[in-house]
């Protein structure tokens, strides 16, 4: 039977009017099969009202409510789920199973501008009644599926970002606080425990400026730390004040760097290194405080 028919042959009472023009597209998608089932049933709207009882209570309170429901009319503009479910229970349209009806009803409610709280409230009203879901699982609406998917993506991205920042911070911590590592110095492994921070001395006269091409170990000789091995960072600029037997003193500090490191991994020329005075014989000059 066509859903555009106003009445079926043999049905008593006034003919059922057409679907109202204000009914949305998705609303019509579930309403038309309902109307087809109504015309095929030969039931009157009053009989449908009587058959809509659940636990002795009529869910479709009058034939007028049934007529409104089948036309997509009514003061609410879009019917509540319990009314639609009651009509489905009575008519049982073969081409509109309950799960499809529920999905279309939810989409139609969204199309009609109903809020998710209204939709969820309508579905919760019929839990435990005929046709209600028995799984107890929360209802997820199409619009909410998108929101939930976006939320999951944002959470994952946030976790990835946090982990990345944490790894970078931890890596920097290892560099600055010196996770113990080793440098191959001939046949020996030399532990490098920290990077030093060297600032230029206030007076760079009588010093030799060199720039490192890689990390280079340095030794600290002071009253509080004898023989502590640390490291100068690649691309650091050092100012050498004087030379010892096989090392050079970094101006303004108590740090010394081995000659072979400078010759291999810095801009220093052998003749410039040899031109530096022996430590203890150079003229005093202004310098910065020892740094570490």
Average pLDDT estimate for 129-137: 41
Q: Decide: helix, strand or coil at residue 130.
A: coil
pLDDT at 107: 93
Average pLDDT estimate for 124-147: 51
83 secondary structure, DSSP code: H
CA distance 43 to 40: 8
Please list, in sequence order, all residues whose beta carbon lies within 8 angstroms of the beta carbon of residue 10, skipping any fewer than 6 positions away.
Answer: 42
pLDDT digits (tens, 9 = 90+) for 40-63: 988 999 999 898 887 788 888 888
Q: How far is CA 203 from CA 41, 82, 232, 266, 281, in A?
A: 105, 89, 21, 22, 18
pLDDT at 194: 79
Average pLDDT over all residues of the chain: 77
CB atoms within 10 A of CB 21: 6
Domain ranges of the chain: 25-139, 140-177, 193-275
Q: Is the pTM of this model over 0.85?
A: no
Tell whether the torsion through CA atoms of 28, 31, 37 and 41 is positive or negative: negative
pLDDT digits (tens, 9 = 90+) for 143-188: 455 566 677 778 888 788 777 766 665 555 444 444 334 444 444 4
Q: Which residue has the higher pLDDT, 135 or 35?
A: 35
């Amino acid at each position: 039977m066509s859903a555009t028919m106003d009445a079926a042959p043999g049905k008593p009472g006034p003919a059922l009017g057409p679907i109202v023009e204000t009914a949305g597209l998705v609303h019509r998608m579930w309403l038309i099969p309902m109307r087809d089932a109504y015309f095929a049933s030969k039931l009157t709207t009053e009989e449908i009202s009587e058959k809509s009882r659940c636990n002795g209570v009529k869910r479709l309170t009058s034939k007028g409510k049934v007529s409104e429901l089948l036309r997509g009319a009514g003061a609410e503009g879009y019917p509540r789920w319990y009314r639609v479910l009651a009509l489905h229970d009575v008519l049982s349209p073969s081409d509109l199973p309950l799960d499809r009806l529920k999905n279309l009803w939810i989409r139609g409610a969204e199309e009609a501008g109903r809020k998710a709280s209204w939709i969820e409230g309508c579905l919760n009203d019929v839990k435990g009644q005929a046709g209600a879901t028995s799984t107890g699982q929360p209802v997820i609406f199409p619009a909410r599926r998108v929101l939930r998917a976006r939320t999951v993506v944002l959470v994952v991205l946030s976790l990835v970002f946090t982990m990345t920042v944490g790894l970078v911070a931890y890596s920097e911590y290892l560099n600055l606080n010196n996770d113990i590592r080793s440098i191959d110095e001939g046949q020996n492994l030399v532990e490098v425990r920290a990077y030093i921070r060297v600032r230029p001395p206030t007076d760079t006269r009588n010093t030799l400026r060199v720039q490192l091409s890689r990390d280079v170990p340095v030794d600290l000789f002071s009253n509080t730390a004898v023989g502590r091995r640390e490291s100068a960072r690649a691309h650091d600029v050092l100012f050498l004040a004087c030379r010892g037997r096989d090392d050079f003193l970094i101006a303004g500090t108590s740090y010394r760097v081995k000659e072979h490191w400078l010759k291999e991994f810095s801009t220093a020329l052998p003749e410039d290194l040899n031109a530096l005075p022996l430590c203890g014989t150079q003229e005093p000059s202004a310098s910065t405080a020892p740094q570490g």
